[in-house]
Amino acid sequence: MSTYAIAEIANLQYKLIKGQQIETQRVESKKDKTFKTDKVMMIKDGKNLLVGSPYIKGASVSCEVVRDFRGEKLISFKYKRRKKSRWKKGHRQEMSLLKVTEIKSE
């Protein structure tokens, strides 16, 4: 079985496997397009299992930012009947596509 980790990225938890690509909310990356988080909650490596409370000290997950993009448009619409009063708003979430490059434990 491959190594995987459960980590927090942009206040959301993801199960991460090396080489996997995930879509998450926009993350701020450095000039070299890398992103590193030390908020790792669990690492499973073969038969070894590390669980933090809440995070594992010394553990980190490194990701490469493949691209930044905007998600699909969501529309909200409100109206008041018989009043000619209507509101239509659209929203597109800023997203990032990340590729997991390294899972490092203590």
Half-sphere exposure of 60 toward its Cβ, with a 13 Å CA cutoff?
A: 9
Whether 32 has a pLDDT exceeding 90, the answer reads: no
At residue 26's C-alpha, the angle toward residues 32 and 98, to 5°, is 55
Give me the number of domains the chain comprises.
1
Tell the residue number behind the tokens 């490092």, with chain if given: 104
Q: Kindly report the pTM of this predicted structure.
A: 0.81
**Residue 1, both tokens:** 């079985």
**With pLDDT > 70 as the criterion, what percentage of the chain qualifies?**
99
Full residue range of the structural domain in which residue 12 is found: 4-104
Query: Which pLDDT tens digit goes with each residue over 34-73?
Result: 999 999 999 999 889 999 999 999 999 999 999 999 999 9
